[in-house]
Amino acid sequence: MLDNNLKSKINKLWDKFWSGGLSNPITAIEQMSYLIFMRKLEDEDEKRIREGGFTGEKYVSIFKGHDDCRWSKWVTKPAETILDHVRDKVFPFMRNIGDGDSLYKEYMKGANFGIPTASLLIEAVNIINDMHIKEQNQDTQGDIYEYLLSELTTAGKNGQFRTPRHIINMMVDFADPQADDKILDPACGTAGFLVNAYQHILQANKKEGVSRLTPNKKKILDEDSIFGYDIDETMTRIALMNLMMHGIKKPNIKRANTLSDAEPRVSDNTYDVILANPPFKGSLNEAEISERFRVKTTKTELLYLELMYLALAPSGRCAVIVPEGVLFGNSNAHKRVREILLTDCRLDAVISMPSGVFKPYAGVSTAVLFFTKGEPTQKVWFYKMEADGYSLDDKRTFIDGIGDINDILEHFKNREKENPIDRKKKYFFVPTKEIKDKSWDLSISKYREVEYEEIEYEKPSVIKKKIIQLEEDILKGLKDLEV
């Protein structure tokens, strides 16, 4: 986590962009990303030159023949030339550096430099230099970028919005990705799930602060384990930047409508872990929808669920956020999707979340589904989350940042040993047969028993006597005032 000094500098950067005319948070974060990576590119180049001198390996600077594209060179240019130089020379250079699969080159494809004035560029450069990006370790660089992304507080189209980080962490803990897993988010947005899955794996493979991953396993993790798709070009670029800022050298992030048959296409039976919060309330034109789907619907929340089922490898596991309507919707498509989850998968858990979790973006009630592909469900573990560690109003004030989350993870882990059947509690098992008999309904309210406390009221004669006495006391008080 960042200290208050760094947060203050990042907030100052935001203020400068907003006052400078870049009020759209997504546009602002994209332009900030470009500047941070211009600085990072020179830092990485210097690091490789130093390492080459130490190991004896020959390294040719990427700035050879383009020395005036170095951050340290162009930031000293006068105000009357700096903007034109960055826009017309530095930016085109950055789009074309490296070989065919260079991540810098891949990231810069289609990017446009949109900082409108030299004064804003200079102010931003000074703040970034003041953050000492070069001196931060990889974790801190990632936290800086996460804090920037946390300012994306406007919901996108079709119900797209950032998932709170503590909810992501809970879902990653459910799925427990391993170092040799292929991990997918088919609607990745800013790549929060993928970043947290990567960090989960790194942390699980540390002993006394030292990584136990072999160089080969680390290379596979960095280059052939993290996969994400998003339909929005800007989000695709931001996702790539986010993953790179967290140390993933070759993330496989592609722009695509994963619900269509257009390329690039999500492969069937491929991924060991899927983590996602796909768009809610979207509706596609029937002509766009892939022919692979058995469920006939245009609702994106249902299509994404079937996509994830198809994309999972046998015994692959998925943690996904769905709107509450998916749990009890009465259409044939709703019922069919739930039937697939219960008969073609082992639906391990349904976590019902309070409606305030996604405020201020939306007040929709949601749930987390966690399922494993390849065997039928015998019973489903339900949990009624009542608190997530923040206030459930628009302010989302920090309380403890945990709420029921640790309780959820602990009882889920011990669910077979505990075998909870008391439906008055927050968590309990429900047999699949009972769920089937209720049209595959997965809403916890269908099964949870609410215990009402019996309230004993006083007899009417007693209440009447108290009212008369109260009136007499009031009249006496008024008479005393007159005296």
pLDDT-based confidence at 371, cuts 50/70/90? very high
pLDDT tens per residue, range 267-278: 999 999 999 999
What's the pLDDT score for residue 343?
Answer: 97
Sheet holding 379-384, edge to edge: 252-255, 226-230, 183-185, 271-276, 312-323, 366-373, 345-353, 379-384, 427-431
Say if residue 481 is exposed, middle or buried (CB neighbours under 10 Å; 0-12, 13-18, 19+): exposed
pTM for this predicted structure: 0.83
Backbone angles phi, psi at 315, to 5 degrees: 70, 10
**Higher local confidence (pLDDT), 175 or 160:** 175
Please give the single-letter amino acid code of residue 383.
Answer: Y
C-alpha to C-alpha distance for 411 and 33, rounded to whole angstroms: 41
Averaged pLDDT, 33-56: 79
Question: What value does the CA radius of gyration of the chain take, rounded to a whole number of Å?
Answer: 28
Residues 243/191, Cβ–Cβ less than 8 Å: yes
Distance between CA atoms of 306 and 300, rounded to whole angstroms?
10
- The pLDDT of residue 289 is 92
CA torsion sign, 323 to 325 to 326 to 331? Answer: negative
Q: What's the pLDDT score for residue 98?
A: 57
pLDDT at 155: 42
Residue length of the chain: 483
**Per-residue pLDDT at 138 exceeds 70:** no
Beta bridge pairs of residue 345: 373
Q: Class of 153-446 per CATH?
A: alpha beta
* pLDDT per residue as tens digits for the range 70-128: 999 999 999 999 999 999 999 988 877 755 555 556 767 778 899 999 999 999 998 88
Model pLDDT, residue 72: 93
Q: CB–CB of 279/159 below 8 Å?
A: yes
DSSP string, 58-120: ----TTTT-GGGSHHHHTTS-HHHHHHHIIIIIHHHHHT-SSTT-HHHHHHTT-------HHH
Neighbours of 461 (CB within 10 A): 8
Compute CA distances 241 → 126, 132, 226, 247, 432, whole Å. Answer: 21, 18, 14, 10, 43
The mean pLDDT value of the chain amounts to 86
Name which of 311, 331, 380, 372 is nearest 351 in CA terms. 380
Give residue-wise pLDDT tens across range 288-333: 899 999 999 999 999 999 999 999 999 999 999 999 999 999 999 9
What pLDDT score does 159 carry?
Answer: 41
230-269 confidence digits (pLDDT tens):
988 888 888 888 888 777 877 889 889 999 998 889 999 9
Q: Specify the pLDDT at position 163.
A: 83
pLDDT above 60 for 160: no
> At CB < 8 A and 24+ separation, what contacts does 84-92 make?
86/113, 86/115, 86/121, 87/113, 90/38, 91/34
On the question of a common fold for 4-139 and 153-446, the answer reads no
pLDDT band of residue 51 (cuts 50, 70, 90) is confident
If pLDDT is split at 50, 70 and 90, which confidence band does 157 have?
very low
Question: What does DSSP assign to residue 455?
Answer: P
pLDDT at site 236: 85
| Res 415 pLDDT > 90 | yes
d(CA 369, CA 185): 15
- Helices marked H in 116-180 — which ranges? 118-130, 138-149, 165-175
Which residues on neighbouring strands pair with residue 372, listed in sequence order?
A: 317, 346
Using DSSP's 3-state secondary structure scheme, residue 383 falls into strand
Residue 27 has pLDDT above 90, yes or no: no
Contacts of 12 (CB under 8 A, 6+ apart): 127
> Is 212 or 462 the better-scoring residue by pLDDT?
212
pLDDT at 144: 73
pLDDT at 379 over 60: yes
The domains of the chain are located at 4-139, 153-446
- What gap in Å lies between CA 368 and CA 274, rounded to an integer? 13
What is residue 55's predicted lDDT score, i.e. its pLDDT?
Answer: 65
- CATH number for region 4-139: 1.20.1260
Q: Mean per-residue pLDDT for 390-406?
A: 89
CA distance 353 to 444: 11
User: Count of alpha carbons within 13 Å of 219, Cβ hemisphere only?
Assistant: 3
Angle at 403 between CA 397 and CA 408, to 5 degrees: 150
Sign for the CA dihedral angle at 24, 30, 32, 34 comes to: negative
pLDDT bracket for residue 4 (50, 70, 90): confident
CB atoms within 10 A of CB 16: 20
Query: Is residue 318 within 8 Å of residue 184, measured between CB atoms?
Result: no
